[in-house]
Chain A
Amino acid sequence: MQTEPYLGEGSGSTSSQNPVSASSILVADCGSTFTKVSLLGLVEGQYRLIARGVSPTTFAAPNEDVTRGIIQAINEIEFITGRRFVADGQIVSPEDPAGDGVDLIVSTLSVGGPMRVVVLGAVSKELETLAAQAVSGLHAETYAIPAPSYRATMMPDALSVVGSGRGPSSPSQPATWTPEQFNTEWQRQIERVRELQPHAALIVGLADSPAGATTLQEACQLVIQAVKVLGQQAKDGQYQLPVLYAGAPQFVEAVRRMLNGYAEVTRVETLLSQEQFAPVSMAASALYERGVIQRVPGFEKLRSWSNAVPVGAASSLSSLVRFLAQHYAMNVTAVDVGSNTTTLMMAGERGEFIPLVKPGIGVGTGLGGILQQVGMGRIARWLPFSISEDELRQFSVTHMLHPQALPTNLRELQILQAFAREAIILARETISEESLGQFEADLVLATGGVLSHAPKFGQAALMLLDALQPRGVTSLVLDRTMLISQLGAVATVAPIAAVQVNENDAVMHRLGTCVVPFGELPQGQTAIRVGVEYSNGRQVTAEVMAGSIEIIPLKLNEQALLTLYPAPTVDVGLGPGERARAAEEIDGGLVGLIIDARGRPLSFPSNEAERQARLLQWMQVIGA
């Protein structure tokens, strides 16, 4: 787990206005499927969300200009408010005395796909993992391609020539590669790079393996070949592949000379451990903005409208999550399930930070990615009805082709919510067990259409509990405004506005406090007894059976004192069987006080009918 906050992720603001002079702010977010524009304004001296518009993102043909979708979304805001914000295809700024126009414009983007980074050189398994972790907070994917000489010396059995009759070598007789094998591997790597069409290359390794500096030389040669081969495929004959050099420091000038005329080389700290994450991540973030975001059609026009350089949505969200953790002095987990990307960010009050952006996993165009990675069984386990693989695959393809479509019946909705659960689980699984085990969320903040716009609050709560499987006591909050991913960017130009909108609107929908006992829950018996003392003195006691969920009424803006009496083998955070009494009152919510005694990890009856009945029971209890 990282203990240092990232510094300067994404570009900073180019201007920061006195919030007193900014009466109105337009915040645009261009996602892969939808473009959302929010109007923030002053209401009784506090910044509030005034209105919101949504439109399909217009980065693809025939529009090929994201600003068109932004204008269309703004048109909705104009209709709602009666104010004019667009004239002759341009945003009117600043706001005039009649209320037309807007003072500030901020934008974030997650359209354009993830940045693909090939990791080259002496890429050991450890370095491959480190490289992936270093860019995990960005909308990026890494692909390791160890240099042929590195593979030959460190992984000699990895390649066998077809028809050579050679089997794996024995440990006592390490294999050496023939020139033919080197050539085969070289051709394979060129083909692999051609297939990946990377946005950037990261060269790593200390050249201290038996292959020495040859690994770095081969990495450079691969970059040169990639630029040539991919240039031939490009319509304009050009292909840019910027290189981040995080390898042995004594060879940086040699690398620059080799790549002179082919690729721009940026030196970063040699990647050896988590301590070098920040510089690698910063450099990769700059490449992401140059190589992906700034190539989004319409970016230049959007840039000319905006008061700060448009940044990636993940960068913006990470700023807010870290702020919330320090502001509320608690561990915060933010979950964003989008159409093609699922983001999970965990921030601790002491500055710990685990960001994870999982491209290709989402409930729109990312459905196929989820299904391929987890399989039908893991989706179907969340459904209170039977479904065939054909139906599930066909549903997925249809929805991927029309990611903007709304589920119009309960069956479709439940299928999408099942996918949402698995998207979050996939993101969690990417984080090491060691990091997860050290981090218990006090507050879970959820955003993304499938969560934020779930028809019932109980559905959102159940998705979060099923997917994140928190333990102990935690609070669930839903961002119905879908603004939290943009507030980090807003804070760069109007920090007070960001704080006020966050507190007044973005985190208003508290679902409730959850108590999740864990350990050995005695089947068929009471797992925990819960005593609730309301502010008006009324007292309620509930006994919650193992394997069940109970909701104790505790409304939004209500508070109560909680006492927990777990069974002898059950833990609520203080040890098995240890009684716990909260020092302060806990908050209620839109669902209530949720006691989730289903056990951790969550398990299902093997009998299909029983599983479906159990799911329906949980859904009914929680109001899903």
Chain B
Amino acid sequence: MAYPPGGSVVTQIEVQRERRFAGSQARSIPLVYVGQHVQADQPVIRLATNAGADQAVEAVEAAEAAAPVAPVVVPSGLRGEVIETTSRGGVVIKTRAALLTGSLGAGLQTAGVLSMWQPVHTRPLPLPPGAILVIPGPVSFALLRQAAASGVVGIVASSVELRDLEGFLGLDIFDLLNCIDVDKAQSRLPSMTLLFTEGCGALPMPDATIKLLSRYQGSIALISGVTSLRYALRPELVISPPDEEARLNWHPQPLDDDLRPGFPVRVCCGTHVGVTGVIEHYFVHQQTFLSGVQGQAVRLRLADGTSLIVPIMNCDVRPLA
């Protein structure tokens, strides 16, 4: 039985991502070539801020030579190989990575340094500018504002109250989720990119996710908050592991669609939202729930040893702790 798409963590996977500066009409010029190996902090794109996207590269460079401006560059965010440069000025990088897919997010693709952060009630810790802050729990409107003001480029948190999120973004979330021109809509948001692993509410971050993110503390990562129901896009965090791990300790698991006994899952919807457990039994026949609705179901064994029967469609796959 196939599991439904949703938030997930894949610790080792080969991915290809186009690195580009979306939401700007400025001309993007690749700084790298196909076949080149790049580091995560290496600039890969330059923005020609005094030229439109419709101008040829030669015309842009001539204009810049005549009236030099400080270059705006975009770092790779990933360690890998450039496999393509696109017509719109992006570069496609192939990388071995850890991939965290969130439930809900906002904001354009950006790169930053992963920094674990814990709120301290007595004295707030400083928020490092240029960081992708990892908050292993729900985040509030106040913290979002504080982080944005401190120059944080991204936040990975477990969840947020919808009211707080809409207040921070300054818009109706439904407009964002259903918009046609994703780049334009995202470019109008506050510049800090957001990724919520669990979605709306006051849901905790699973231990396995915290462990994964802690492991890569200090690494440069690429975060995208784009969430589009129209184009089936979800927010993601792509982390290129250290070179040694990518070369020597690389054992990617093939993507497995089937939920089977022994798989760890999280309940993403319904009465027991946020609960995590391991599939103990897969019911052959549909089960009836309190709502009266019938559906394919699994019995989960929870951490405290108790069991729970939930619809299989209400489960997301989670990594083992």
Instruction: State the A residues within 8 Å of B (CB).
Output: 55-56, 58-63, 68-69, 72, 75-76, 113, 116, 194-197, 228-229, 231-237, 340, 360, 365, 368-369, 371-372, 390, 393-394, 396-402, 404-410, 412-413, 453, 455-456
Contacts and interface: CB of A to CB of B under 8 A. Distances in A.
Contacts of B199: 397-398, 401
B269 A402 contact: yes
A408 B200 contact: no
A393 to B, nearest CB: 6
Contacts of A59: 232
B54 A408 contact: no
B172 interface: yes
Contacts of B268: 402, 405
Contacts of B4: 56, 402, 404-405
B103 interface: yes
B69 interface: no
Q: Which residue, B4, B54, B269, B288, has most C-beta atoms of chain A within 10 A? A: B269
Contacts of A390: 161-163
B292 interface: yes
B162 A406 contact: no
B165 to A, nearest CB: 9
A141 to B, nearest CB: 10
Contact of A394 (B2, B183, B184, B200): B200
Interface stretch (B37-45, B82-90, B121-129): B82-90
A408 B291 contact: yes
A401 B273 CA distance: 13
Contacts of A401: 6, 103-104, 199, 227, 229
B70 interface: no
Contacts of A62: 255
Contacts of A234: 87-88
B173 interface: yes
B163 A408 contact: no
Interface in B110-162: 161-162
A400 B175 CA distance: 13
Interface string B268-304: 1111110000000000000011111111000000000
Q: Which residue, B3, B177, B272, B288, has most C-beta atoms of chain A within 10 A? A: B177
Interface string B78-105: 0000000011101000000000000110
Nearest to A141: B180
A110 to B, nearest CB: 14
A55 B178 CA distance: 23
Interface residues of B, number: 57
Nearest to B236: A61
A397 B169 CA distance: 15
B243 interface: no
B247 interface: no
A76 B88 contact: no
A393 B167 CA distance: 14
Contacts of A397: 104, 162, 173-174, 177, 199-200
B244 interface: no
Q: Name the 9 nearest CB pairs between A and B, nearest first.
A: A455-B292, A237-B87, A60-B232, A368-B174, A405-B269, A408-B270, A413-B291, A406-B311, A72-B2
Contact of B293 (A116, A360, A455): A455
Q: Which residue, B6, B175, B293, has most C-beta atoms of chain A within 10 A? A: B293
Contacts of B313: 56, 404-406
Contacts of B271: 408-409
Contacts of B183: 233
B257 interface: yes
Interface in B255-274: 255, 257, 268-273
Nearest to A410: B291
B86 A235 contact: yes
Contacts of A63: 257
Given A197-B180, A398-B269, A406 B201 contact: no
15 contacts: A56-B3, A56-B4, A61-B232, A195-B184, A390-B163, A397-B104, A398-B199, A398-B200, A401-B104, A404-B313, A406-B291, A406-B314, A408-B272, A408-B289, A408-B314
Given A235-B87, A235-B88, A394 B201 contact: yes
A413 B53 CA distance: 49
B2 A55 contact: yes
A196 B289 CA distance: 42
Interface string B203-234: 00000000000000000000000010111110
B18 to A, nearest CB: 7
Contacts of B248: none
B58 interface: no
Contacts of B3: 56
Nearest to B297: A406
B180 A195 contact: yes
Given A404-B4, A405-B270, A365 B229 contact: yes
Contacts of B200: 394, 397-398
Given A408-B314, A413-B291, A455-B293, A399 B269 contact: yes
Given A397-B104, A397-B200, A402 B291 contact: no
A235 B90 contact: yes
B200 to A, nearest CB: 5
A141 B269 CA distance: 31
B74 interface: no
Contacts of B291: 406-410, 412-413, 455
B310 A408 contact: yes
A368 B178 contact: yes
A411 to B, nearest CB: 8
B1 A453 contact: no
A232 B88 CA distance: 6
A360 B178 CA distance: 8
Given A405-B270, A407-B270, A236 B174 contact: no
Given A233-B183, A397-B199, A456 B292 contact: yes
A217 B275 CA distance: 61
A371 B289 CA distance: 26
Contact of A413 (B54, B292, B311): B292
B270 A412 contact: yes
A593 to B, nearest CB: 24
Contacts of B53: 232
Interface string B1-33: 111111000000000001000000000000000
A555 B167 CA distance: 54
Contacts of A58: 2
A457 to B, nearest CB: 11
B14 to A, nearest CB: 11
A198 B9 CA distance: 35
Contacts of B229: 340, 365, 400-401
Nearest to A198: B180
Q: Which residue, B2, B232, B257, has most C-beta atoms of chain A within 10 A? A: B2
Nearest to A408: B270
Given A402-B314, A409-B290, A60 B181 contact: no
A394 B177 contact: no
Given A235-B86, A365-B229, A402-B103, 4 more contacts: A55-B1, A229-B54, A231-B87, A397-B162
A407 B90 CA distance: 42
Given A56-B2, A72-B2, A371 B314 contact: no
A196 B6 CA distance: 27
A19 B257 CA distance: 36
Contact of B174 (A233, A372, A394): A372
Contacts of A360: 178
